[in-house]
């Protein structure tokens, strides 16, 4: 089932993002940041109570621009189209808010290319989005790929 995240989901989301963060496959988020941005998150739940099998966040940046963040699927549930279903839900949410462009910073550009994203220069993104980057452990040597999709 796909639904918006609740307070009860924060620790499971944190654990999932931490798993991939420790492997260098995405940038983990601090627990406090998850509480701050909880309304951004959509989750895919498992059969067991409290089980989060995937998550993704849509963060608004500007009147026509939003970022897809923290897309992760639990390793036991890979190749079951959970990531694709989460992205589809995020696309619908972005359209509901009349967002015209979505971007992501990713270590998995091939995945996002399947959905129509194309690689862009990070410098083409508005300065406003760099506020989070300043506190990143990889700043200023970001090794993620910037990608954009026009809805």
Query: Model-level pTM greater than 0.85?
Result: yes
- The torsion defined by the Cα of 132, 5, 17 and 111, in degrees rounded to 10, comes to -90
Q: Which is it for strands 118-120 and 101-106: parallel, antiparallel or unpaired?
A: unpaired
Phi, psi of 141 (to 5 degrees): -100, 55
68-125 pLDDT tens trace: 999 999 999 999 999 999 999 999 999 999 999 999 999 999 999 999 999 998 878 7
Domain extent listing, the chain: 2-150
pLDDT at position 129: 60
Residue 90 to residue 96: CA distance in whole angstroms: 10
> 2-150 has which fold?
Aminopeptidase (3.40.630)
Q: Which is it for strands 101-106 and 65-73: parallel, antiparallel or unpaired?
A: parallel
134-144 pLDDT tens trace: 555 555 566 78
């Amino acid at each position: 089932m796909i639904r918006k995240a609740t307070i009860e989901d924060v620790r499971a989301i944190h654990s999932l993002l931490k798993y991939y963060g420790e492997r260098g496959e995405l940038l983990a988020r601090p627990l406090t940041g998850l509480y701050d941005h909880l309304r951004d998150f959509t989750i895919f739940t498992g059969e067991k109570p409290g089980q989060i099998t995937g998550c993704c966040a849509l963060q608004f940046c500007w009147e026509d621009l939003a970022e897809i963040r923290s897309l992760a699927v639990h390793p036991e549930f890979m190749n079951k189209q959970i990531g694709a279903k989460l992205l589809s839900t995020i696309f619908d949410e972005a359209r509901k808010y009349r967002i015209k462009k979505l971007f992501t910073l990713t270590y998995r550009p091939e995945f996002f290319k399947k959905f129509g994203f194309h690689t862009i220069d990070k410098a083409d993104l508005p300065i406003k989005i760099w506020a989070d980057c300043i506190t990143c452990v990889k700043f200023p040597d970001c090794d993620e790929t910037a990608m954009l999709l026009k809805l």
